[in-house]
Each structure stands twice: as C-alpha cells, then as structure tokens.
Amino acid sequence: MKGLKYMQLDYKKYLDKVKGCYTGKNIGGTLGAPFECYRGVYNLDWFMQDISSPIPNDDVDLQLVWLAAVEREGRHIDSLVLAEYWETYVSAQISEYGTSKNNFGMGILPPLSGYLRNENRNSNGAWIRTEIWACLCAGNPALAANYAYYDACVDHSDEGVYAATFTAAVQAAAFFESNREKLIEIGLSYIPEDCGVSRAVALIRQCYKNGDDWKTARKKLLIALPSSFGEMDGEWKGTSLVPACDKCPVQQKDADIPVAEHGYDAPAAIGIVLLGWYYGEGDFAKSVCLAVNCGEDSDCTAGTLGSILGIIAGESNLPEKWKNACSQQIATCTLRTDNVFLPKTIPELCSRIARQTPVVLQDYCYFDENGEYTIVPVAEFKYRKGAFRCNKHEDFWELLEEQGRTVRFHFRGLTVKVTYDDTRVSVEDGTEKTLKLTFVNNLYTPQYLKLRYLGIPETWEVNGGKEQCVGLEHWHGSSNVNSIDFSFTPHNLTSAKTEIVLEISVNGRGEKMYLPLTFFNGKCGA
C-alpha cells in the first residue's frame, strides 16, 4: 500500500459502509445459524428457516457491550477495561467465555485470563466480534488490530488472537481498499507467517489458483487444519427447525478428515471465510452461501464474510433481496441488559458506532461546518514498526509477542508491564519466583518511581526488600523505558490464594497507582 493515496471517506459513505458491515453480518449469521456445529457439505442458496423474527447471536452480543465501554470510557480501552465490562454484562459461561470469566473473577488478568486452563484459546469466540473495532478504526488497520488484541486476549490466545487481529485489519482496510488480494496481504502482515491462520489462508489461495473446486478446497483445509467445531454435533442429519432435504441432505462421516485437537478451530474457520470470498467471485449471495455450505461454525464464517463484503459494497449496494429479508431488530442471548442501554436495531447500532468514531480516530477525522466528518486513512495499511508515536499507541507486534504472559496496566503518565515466568500465577513453597516489571514513561518529563509491595506475607523472602526505587527518563533524546525484577520466595504457604498489591508513587506527583498481583498455591495450570 506504500506510496498509494486513498480517497477520503465522507460521513455518508462511511455510515453506508458501517450499515453494510452489520447488515452483511446479520444476513450471513442468520443464514448459517441452523447449521452451526454440524459437519456437512450443503447446497444452500437461501435461508432454510423462518426469518421473520430476529435471531440472537453472540457474535453481535459482545460488540454491544464493547460499544457501551467505548461510549463511557472513550478511546482509553484496553484488555482490563474490556474484561471488567465482560464480568459485569456478559452472562454466558460457555467454552472460552466461561473459562476467561472464571479466571478474571479469581484475579487472573488478561492476557493470562485468555490463556490459563483454556482449552478453547484457539477457537472462534474473538474473530467473530471484530467489526466494531474495524468500524471505529476505519482506514487504520494498525489501530484496529491493537483494539482487537485487547479484546481477543481477554478470552483467547495464540490462534484465537491471530484470527481476530487478521480479521480486524482486513475489515478496517476494506473501508478504503476493495482489492481482495491487497486486503488479505494487509491482514497477513499482522499475524505470524507460520501460524495456523496464515497456513489456512495460503492453502485456500493455492487451491483457488490450482483450479480446485470449492468442495475439494474445503476437504483439503479440514485435513490440513482439522477443526473440532463440526465434531460437536457431528454429521448433519437434519433438525426439527430445518429437516434434511435436497439442499441440506443427510451427511455421512468422511474418514479422510482427522479428529481435531479440541478447540483448535480458528484456522479452519478463517480458511472457510477465505473459501467463500474466493469461490464466490465477487457475488455477495454466492459467497455467504458457500461459507455456510462448508458447515462447521457456519453462522460465524458467513457472518464475518458478509461483514467484509458489506463494508466493501456499502449497504446501498447489497442485493435488495438479501438485505430486506432479515429483521433489523437486535435480539440478545448472552447479556445482562440492566444499565447497559443496548441498541434495539441495526441502524441504531450503526449510528451509535459512527458517533464514537471521531473519538477513537481523533486526528484522522475532520469535521465540516455542517457537523459531519470526513475520515482520512493512514498512509500505510500493512503493519510497520513505529506506526504510532511511542507515547500515543502501543506497537502491535509487541502486544502480540507478550500474549499469555505479560499484563499491561495503563495509567495517565505511565504504562506498567508485568511479565510472568513459565509458571504464570502459580507459587510453590521454597521456590523462588521472578516477575519482570517494565515501566514506560508516557510523559515528556523524567520520573522517579517509588515501589511498595503491599500484602506480602511476613514469612516470604523478597529480594531487594519490599520497597524499591526506579529512575525513568523520557523518550525525547533518551529511553523512556526501565525494568526491574520482582523476585520472592514463599515460605510456610498456608493460603491457597495470595493477593499482593504493587503501589507506585511518582516523585513530585500526588497520585498513586495500584497493581493487583494474584498468586495461587495448588493446581491452577501454567
């Protein structure tokens, strides 16, 4: 993308694309809902169930909570803020949702909450909810990827996070770029070259290039990167909602497709999104139908593909037959609804997102005399180090490399990173444990930090004492980062759970900052 100049996006066109995003997601999610968790190859070309009423969809539910977070907290959203909103408003306990919520409730903070004891860390719960970050960061894939990381690491790690950052970057770029190959290359720049999601993308692209038909591509994908999603309910036999018929016939087990590692679902799912995108060949209806016709997590794959195509086309250019078929009402199934003021319709959701976009994009939004704004995209859509001023946004790849191990705490003038060792939050009597504390100065003035470790049991041995001082320069003409090890050895462990608080005060500033550090004696997993 370097060297290319993108046109600016005025408010009307932007809002049309936001509406296209969620209308496309609604169409795809509704189309695929009856076939979720089943394995099969279908021949659908229209909805198979009654669509006169809205269908609840967790893919959208969580985005409604994230909208509430942005409306109340502004652009200062990170994984800790999102985890707190999750704990308050998300009632679902299923799979990775329940594991992460249980972890967070015990004081295990993200990204550890999405990693520890989470058999579904590589599954599909995060990449299905990236649309809100793409819309709020239209034309700024790097920023969208940052927010998608903060979101995904609450309840995922590894492939679950890669799938989310890939999807968010593609969707954010799609507001300005419509070329499929360029969009995919943009997304790939935000994930490791050797990860499962990258391999799935490469496989589908190669199948299409080789002239394989879509059924062959699907089978090659599920053999190379098996998914457990279609194993949940097994081969499709029909249901009371949608009986088996010519378009969705009874399926037989395919012995060539191996049994998957439980929860390793995101790579194959992203592969199916790409399959629908390639083999649909620019036709919206054909594309989302193909995603559903591959089975597995069919509402998510078709919904996400529908959102990408909806952004590119805009709502005004989606097929009338399809966009008028589904209800515009929003129904929820996984949320507490008290004091969160959920949007009731897709148009209301889109309008409220568009209202927050200038808050998030800031310098990339310009208002005219009529109160409407124009969005200016960043110059480079692919990842590049140093895309942000170091005191304004965090580098995406630094975030990605820290997943499952480093908790970040964001304060007004300071970012603190707590990096755990291989045993994460576990402690053992008589065994030394070391955490690396990294301090990032976000101000243009040097600071001296006074550290106090509160709540440490008297029997524990702390290297360097329970109070320490750290000098911190600023980034102009120097380095704005300094680190120190916090090492301790527990003795006479009597509690299953120990809560330590790190208090930070800054020389010449009245405020104090507090970081909770929770440790467990027992089998909590690493």
CATH number, domain with residue 481 = 2.60.40.10
CATH number, domain with residue 93 = 1.10.4080.10
Over residues 166-187, the mean pLDDT reads: 98
Reply yes or no on whether the pLDDT at 332 is more than 70.
Answer: yes
Reply yes or no on whether the pLDDT at 18 is more than 80.
Answer: yes
CA-based nearest residue to 236, from 55, 30, 43, 54: 43
Residues 6 or more apart whose Cβ sits within 8 Å of residue 106: 497, 518, 520
Residue 415 within a domain: yes
* pLDDT the model gives residue 92: 80
By three-state DSSP, how is residue 43 classified?
A: coil
Here the tokens at position 457 are 């049991």
The last residue of a domain, from among 336, 360, 375? 375
Q: Are residues 148 and 94 in the same domain?
A: yes
pTM of structure: 0.95
Q: Are residues 424 and 332 in the same domain?
A: no
Cβ atoms of 303 and 128 within 8 Å: the answer is yes
Here the tokens at position 198 are 């990258």
Q: Which residue range(s) make up the domain with 501?
A: 405-520
Q: Are residues 120 and 186 in the same domain?
A: yes
Over residues 260-289, the mean pLDDT reads: 98
* pLDDT the model gives residue 478: 79
Phi, psi of 455, rounded to the nearest 5 degrees: 85, 10
Q: Are residues 442 and 346 in the same domain?
A: no
Q: Are residues 337 and 266 in the same domain?
A: yes
Q: At what angle do helices 79-89 and 141-152 cross, to 10 degrees?
A: 50
* pLDDT the model gives residue 4: 43
Residue 396 within a domain: no
Residue 307 within a domain: yes
Kindly report the number of other CB atoms within 10 A of residue 438's CB atom: 17
Burial letters 218-248, b for 16+ CB under 10 A, else e: bbbbbebbbbbbbbeeeebeeeeebeeeeeb
Q: Are residues 65 and 157 in the same domain?
A: yes
Here the tokens at position 62 are 């969580």
* pLDDT the model gives residue 444: 87
Residue 199 within a domain: yes
Q: Are residues 344 and 477 in the same domain?
A: no
How many helices and strands, by DSSP H and E, does the chain display? Answer: 16, 12
Q: Are residues 230 and 364 in the same domain?
A: yes
Here the tokens at position 48 are 């198979």
- Cα–Cα distances (Å) from 360 to 139, 307, 314, 418, 426, in that order, read 12, 21, 21, 26, 37
Residue 1 within a domain: no
The last residue of a domain, from among 321, 353, 375? 375
**How many whole angstroms separate alpha carbon 252 and alpha carbon 56?**
30
Residue 384 within a domain: no
Reply yes or no on whether the pLDDT at 236 is more than 50.
Answer: yes
Number of structural domains (the chain) is: 2
* pLDDT the model gives residue 307: 98
Residue 46 within a domain: yes
Phi, psi of 429, rounded to the nearest 5 degrees: -55, 125
Here the tokens at position 101 are 């919520």
CA-based nearest residue to 67, from 334, 399, 357, 408: 357
* pLDDT the model gives residue 3: 40
Residue 394 within a domain: no
Q: Are residues 358 and 414 in the same domain?
A: no
**How many whole angstroms separate alpha carbon 368 and alpha carbon 521?**
59
Q: Are residues 86 and 17 in the same domain?
A: yes
What digits encode the pLDDT tens for the residues 32-82? 999 999 999 999 999 999 888 888 887 899 999 999 999 999 999 999 999
**How many whole angstroms separate alpha carbon 349 and alpha carbon 355?**
10
| CA-atom Rg of the chain in angstroms | 24
* pLDDT the model gives residue 397: 93
Q: pLDDT-derived band of residue 6, with 50, 70 and 90 as boundaries?
A: low
Over residues 424-437, the mean pLDDT reads: 96
The last residue of a domain, from among 333, 355, 375? 375
Of residues 385 and 455, more confidently modeled: 455
**How many whole angstroms separate alpha carbon 262 and alpha carbon 85?**
28
Reply yes or no on whether the pLDDT at 336 is more than 90.
Answer: no
Phi, psi of 366, rounded to the nearest 5 degrees: -125, 130
Over residues 165-183, the mean pLDDT reads: 98
Q: Are residues 166 and 270 in the same domain?
A: yes
Q: pLDDT-derived band of residue 2, with 50, 70 and 90 as boundaries?
A: very low
DSSP string spanning 49-101? S--SS----HHHHHHHHHHHHHHHHTT---HHHHHHHHHHHB---SHHHHHHH
Q: Are residues 416 and 368 in the same domain?
A: no
Mean pLDDT score across all residues of the chain: 93
Of the chain, the percentage scoring pLDDT greater than 70 comes to 97
- Per DSSP bridges, beta strands 512-520 and 461-462 are unpaired
